[in-house]
Structures are given as structure tokens and as C-alpha cells.
Structure 1
């Protein structure tokens, strides 16, 4: 057990060093990886596909949004919140949640749904129909989950670990988003 604890501590220290040296790269990799994992969970658990029939191209497209947009955007956003609102305290956390949920969440979800549709090769008209069909439902579901997560995140978690905490919770969120954006609808 002591050997495991030492290896775990070494892994955490390695992660901390990487995070300090390359915060955007680390955030991009962990976000993309967790989005890929969420898509695989969606395909195997919710859609009940065997591993043999997983659509890995779909997984790669979904995860690329995390690598290219999600991880870097979250890191920049949390840095801006820290810079302009503050880094600690109850009122600071509440203000951050408010700004996050009023500005970032609606904008990022629209960007995410647009990116997924574009990567699925949807026409502009079908993309708009998908957004009309899904956006408000996804945003409403967001408001059930994320304000509480973000309140804990902004109050208790140091800036450099905030994206990691969000992405651990987002594993389940990404599973939901993958299912929501890939299910067959009347538009197909």
C-alpha cells in the first residue's frame, strides 16, 4: 500500500509540474480525453453498442472539440474570472458563478452544439434546426447541475485545478451531451 501511495504522489507531482509549465496544453489534453471517454460511455452504456461497434470517428470528432476549444477556453475563462472578479471568498465565488452561468454557459453551449453539428457534416439548415431543438433543453439541464458544481469549484479549488474538477464532473455531462447531439431525431 505504501508503494502505491508513493507512486500516486509521484504522479500528482508530475501532473502539477506539467500543469505549471504547460497549463493550456494539459487542460486541452485532459478535456479532450474526458470528452472522448464521455462519448464512449454514451455509445456503450446509453446507446448499448458493444465495443466492437463503437464509432471511433464520432469519438475523435467529439473529443477534438475538447482539445481545440473546451480545455483552452475553460482555462482562459477561469483566468479572466480570477483576474477581474477575484480569487477567494464567498461573495467572489457567488459572483463568479453568476457571471459564468449568465455569460459563459449559454455562449459555450451554443458554440459546442454548433461545433458538434458542423463536425457531423450537417447543413446550415439542419444545424440551425438541431440548435433550435436542443439548445434550450441543454441549457436548462446545465442550470440544474453546473451552478452548484461551480460554486464549490470557485470557493474551494485553486485556479490551476478548477478545469480538472469541472472535467471530472463533465465526464457525466459529456456523456449526456454526446447522447443528446448524436441521437436520431426527426431531422435525420
Structure 2
């Protein structure tokens, strides 16, 4: 059996777990890239703990949440229908999901970093607007393509590959002012 067939079978049988593993791996990879390429940290200063924190957010929060969210959008608007369906899904995703999920992400990151709640609130106040604006520069066209052309079971995967860049940005942005 080919790797592709094994992946498709696993995705069909265990959709949330599959997406959780993908999201965790790609969020961890994004943090690794942020530390080693963007921040140019030498390996002796590399924080495995930070990468583990990002990986855990991807595995426990981002992957499962995105899987359920895309399933909801497919049920609400349909999984086919061309541009108008894709536009409705993208609008919902960017106007409802993204602003809320950024808060969830920043809160989860603060919690895994064991920050006090007042510090998490300060981080959200400091970073939220910039992250949301950057989100709107990247994600609307990606999501239009995703919702228009990509089958539902592969939508989280496509988003997670684009999110490798996004996760690198998030890691850098949330750590850059510390």
C-alpha cells in the first residue's frame, strides 16, 4: 500500500486525529523555523520547550478545531457550488472564526507558557491587532482557493502547509517583544 493510500485511509478513519497530528507537526515546524531562520538562534540557544508548546497547541487545539470548523462550514454552505459557496465560507471564516481563534491561540500560548492571566491579557492587547491585520493579508485568498477547489478532507492539510509560514510568523510575533 502506498503512503498516499495509507494517509487517505487514516484521514478517513481518524479525521480529527489526522488533522491534529498534521497541525501539531506543522506548528512545531513553524516555531523551529522562527527560532533558527528568522531569529537566527544558534542551536545551543534553541528552545525545544517553545517548540513543544507550539506543537501542543496545534495538536490539541488548532487541528481538532479546524477540522470541526471546516465540517460545520461544509454542512452550512455545502461542499461544492463554486465561487459563491467559497466566498460565503471565506467570509464566515475570516469574519467569525479568525478573530475568535486568534484570541484562543494567544490565550492557549500564554497558558502553556504558564503566564499569569493579567500577562496573557497584556499579550493579547499588544499583539491581537497586528496578528489580525496580517491574517487578513494572507488568509482570504488562501481560503477562497481552499473552499473553491480543495476537497473537504484535505482543506485542513492545505491550510496547515500555508500555515507553516503563518506559524513561523506567529511564533516570531508572540516572542519578539519578550
Q: Which bin holds the TM-score, normalised by the shorter protein?
A: over 0.9
Q: Which protein shows a greater Rg?
A: 1
Where structure 1 has 5 or more consecutive residues not aligned to the other structure, the ranges are: 1-8
2:93 counterpart (100, 104, 111):
100
1:114-138 deviation line (CA, Å, top 9, x unaligned): 1111211222111111100100110
1:61-86 deviation line (CA, Å, top 9, x unaligned): 11100000000000000000000111
> CA-atom RMSD, angstroms?
1.1
- CA offset at residue 50 of structure 1? 2.0
Bigger mean CA deviation after superposition, 175-184 or 65-74: 175-184
Aligned pairs for 1:39-50 within 5 A: 39-50=31-42
1:68 counterpart (60, 64, 69):
60
**Cα distance between partner residues in 1 of 2:158 and 2:177:** 31
Partner of 2:176: 183
**Cα distance between partner residues in 1 of 2:62 and 2:117:** 22
For residue 49 of structure 1, give the secondary structure of its aligned residue in structure 2.
Answer: coil
**Cα distance between partner residues in 1 of 2:117 and 2:95:** 26
Partner of 1:10: 2
TM-score by length of 2: 0.96
- CA offset at residue 184 of structure 1? 3.2
Residue 103 of structure 2 corresponds to residue 91 of structure 1: no
Aligned pairs for 1:1-188 within 5 A: 10-88=2-80, 89-185=82-178
Tell me how many residue pairs correspond in the alignment. Answer: 177
Where structure 2 has 5 or more consecutive residues not aligned to the other structure, the ranges are: none
TM-score by length of 1: 0.91
For residue 2 of structure 2, give the secondary structure of its aligned residue in structure 1.
Answer: helix
